[in-house]
Amino acid sequence: MTSLTLVRRIRARPSIVFDALTMPEGIACWWGPDDGPVLLAETDLRVGGRFRVRFRMLDGSEHESSGEYLEVVRPERLTMSWRWMDGEDPGESLVEIDLRAIAEGTELTFTHSRLHDEETRRSHEAGWNGSLDKLERHFLAASNGDRHDQA
Amino acid sequence: MHEPLDRTFAALVDPTRRAILARLEREDSASVSELARPFAIKLPAVMKHLDVLADAGLITRSKLGRTVTVRLAPEPMREAMDWLRRYERFWSAGLDRLAAYAEGKEAEAREKDR
């Protein structure tokens, strides 16, 4: 399974970070890859509830993703399935967020995992995980040397 | 869960195996005996290295008659790296903005608590 892990240390308590991750007004302020606007943010924050977020990028393109909340443990852990509406990356992936209280506030560990539904493919690719994790670390270290990213 | 990871790290740590991978990257494919030629080790030792690389999913082997052809298996790696890059781009800046937003909310909350 391929996965991306990012870590941030945030000077805010976990409950505030958790709400920023899950409440539409918070999502509207940060979601998306650039400073383009969030056009729609809906969350039904309970296990089995769904979220839907649509945003526009600075290049004018609009994208929408949605999914289901799988674990909702405020303020420690949030997991959700993830799917792009326009099928640009077909299939479902998994987002896991853990919030840990630290002296300065919160350590947020964010993981986005690609899921392979065919069991055979998974076992075939199992061997790639280690080197991917390693390359991922190199890649993230190279592109985000000043941040707390880890594989 | 760590077992495949350990296996791949172990596969990449050995200089002979890295040399084999580097050569396969250059030449696309090679037979086992071609791969063995530059090394001062015996064919069975090379075969063992190839077993380790195959177990780690880094190469594929196909047999035609008496010749085993070895190839690098770059496609799953490339595909996965594209995926990683794309989501890294997507989330990294967003999480920075999330942090800034939450820190603003924290400051507001502390102001209120005073």
Q: What is the pLDDT along chain B (114 residues), one digit of tens a residue?
A: 344 545 566 677 788 888 888 888 888 789 998 999 888 888 889 999 999 888 878 889 999 888 899 998 866 566 667 777 888 888 999 999 999 999 999 999 999 988
Q: Best interface-test mutation with B: which of A4, A74, A113 has the largest number of B CBs within 10 A?
A: A4
Which chain A positions have a beta carbon within 8 Å of B56's beta carbon? Answer: 127, 130-131
Q: Tell whether B65 and B83 lie within a shared domain.
A: no
Q: Which two tokens stand for residue B90?
A: 């997507």
Chain A residue at shortest CA distance from B57: A127
Containing structural domain, residue A106: 3-116
Q: Tell whether B68 and B80 lie within a shared domain.
A: no
Q: What is the pLDDT along chain A (151 residues), one digit of tens a residue?
A: 577 889 999 999 999 999 999 999 999 999 999 999 999 999 999 999 999 999 999 999 999 999 999 999 999 999 999 999 887 777 788 999 999 999 999 999 999 987 754 433 443 344 444 444 544 454 444 444 444 444 4
Which among A11, A110, A126 has CB closest to B103? A11
Report the C-alpha gap between B37 and A110 in whole angstroms. 46
Q: Tell whether B68 and B108 lie within a shared domain.
A: no
A98 contacts: CB under 8 Å, gap ≥ 6: A76, A77, A108, A109
Asked if the C-beta of B94 comes within 8 angstroms of chain A's C-beta atoms, the answer is yes
Q: Tell whether B82 and B66 lie within a shared domain.
A: no
A24 conformational bin, left if phi > 0, alpha if psi -120 to 50, beta if neither? alpha
Chain B residue at shortest CA distance from A140: B88
Containing structural domain, residue B21: 2-72
Q: Tell whether B66 and B113 lie within a shared domain.
A: no
Which chain B positions have a beta carbon within 8 Å of A110's beta carbon? Answer: 91, 95
Tally of domains within chain A: 1
Report the candidate in A86, A89, A32 with the shortest Cα–Cα distance to residue A56: A32
Say if the Cβ atoms of A10 and B109 lie within 8 Å. Answer: no
Name the percent of chain B lying above pLDDT 90. 33
Report the C-alpha gap between A93 and A75 in whole angstroms. 22
Q: Tell whether B60 and B8 lie within a shared domain.
A: yes
**Is A135 domain-assigned?**
no
The reported pTM is 0.65
Residue A97: DSSP 8-state: E
Domain at A57, CATH number: 3.30.530.20
**Is A100 domain-assigned?**
yes
Q: Tell whether B107 and B57 lie within a shared domain.
A: no
Contacts 24+ apart (CB under 8 A), B85-90: B85/A139, B86/A89, B87/A4, B87/A112, B88/A4, B88/A6, B88/A139, B88/A140, B88/A143, B89/A33, B90/A32, B90/A33
Report the C-alpha gap between B85 and A89 in whole angstroms. 13
Contact A149, B96 (CB under 8 A): no
Domain at B37, CATH number: 1.10.10.10
* Secondary structure class of B92 (helix, strand, coil): helix
Tally of domains within chain B: 2
